[in-house]
Amino acid sequence: MSAPTIQSTKVNYLTALKDAIAEEFARDKDIVAMGEDIGLLGGAFGVTDGLQEKFGKDRVYDMPISEAAIVGVACGLCLNGKKAIVEMQFIDFISCGFDQIVNMTATYHYRTAGEVNIPMVIRGPAGAYGGGALYHSQMNEAWFAHSPGLKIVCPSNPYDAKGLMKAAIRDPNPVIFYEIKDLYRRRDIEMELPEEDYIVPLGKAKVVKEGEDITIVTYGQNVYHVLAAAENLEKEGYRAEVIDLRTIVPLDEETIIESLKKTNRLLVVNEAPKTCGVAGEVLARMTENAFQYLDAPPARITRMDTPVPWVKPLELYVLPSVEKITEAGLRICKF
């Protein structure tokens, strides 16, 4: 098998998503996209820029400001043979379409005894650290992790963003796709991507840094905070193994357990609030299924249980940071 051809120019996170959607549109004529200002404007951040011009208004729809209507229409189109990509202008506003997502879209496959699929991707910019305050900074993935029938994805780099988006679009059932807006145009994470078609399988985590003293599990933008904290830990003589979940639902427990067999210590980091969050779920599952490998109490670093403040010092105060992760890692390693 020949090695993949690599693009000569580096691609940012946003362009990787944009290319994935355009390539899937060209591959499958049944794919449609809809959202607020995604056609003429190309989306608030430009992820769908040029899509309507290339594929036409009969496949790329500008919709009214009603997330419930957008998801409802998309669900109906999926019932009639289409595959829908829905944009939330900010993922915070997904709450306006919550009923259509969790009570309609997520349940169709189950209530039809597997006869009906809803191939829909609901995507949008998410996350804090950019001064967006309480209405434009949320990570609300835990809401949907509690709704059977939905897969949840959150890539941290351009390669995964493109591969996971393609996998999500091709999946026969609904996927909530969290795009970290603070990573969209971040220059230091740009990557050269394969020219050939590829996917990153849903439900498979990735070990992004190997170590033997502590396992740190995270996803999204926090991957970079954890990697920086791992450098700090190494200066203290501890080598952290860093796992990027990539897919939150389904959760790749096997990769985490295999890491714990080696490190015997666990720290989980997520940007969303602490109560009933993904970090707590990972800790619970590892306590249930890998307790015999733990030599120290596992811990989590999350956002405080508060809205995200607008003022920068306060925003950083409530969110996970390199310093908080480093301190927790040292405490666990020294236990």
Distance CA 114, CA 255 (A): 29
Single out the catalytic residue among 109, 136, 146, 225.
136
Catalytic residue flag (residue 225)? no
Which residues are CB-neighbours of 317 under 8 A, at least 6 positions away? 304, 309
Which residues are CB-neighbours of 188 under 8 A, at least 6 positions away? none
Distance CA 189, CA 187 (A): 6
User: Nearest-CA neighbor of 169 among 226, 130, 229, 119?
Assistant: 119
Which residues are CB-neighbours of 43 under 8 A, at least 6 positions away? 35, 37, 49, 87, 89
Neighbours of 238 (CB within 10 A): 20
Structure tokens belonging to residue 159: 């390669």
Which residues are CB-neighbours of 84 under 8 A, at least 6 positions away? 31, 32, 33, 34, 74, 75, 77, 78, 119, 120, 121
Structure tokens belonging to residue 154: 């959150």
Neighbours of 263 (CB within 10 A): 24
Cβ burial, residue 258 (10 Å; 0-12/13-18/19+) = middle
Structure tokens belonging to residue 256: 């985490």
CA atoms within 13 A on the CB side of 215: 29
Distance CA 111, CA 173 (A): 13
Please give the positions annotated as active site. 136
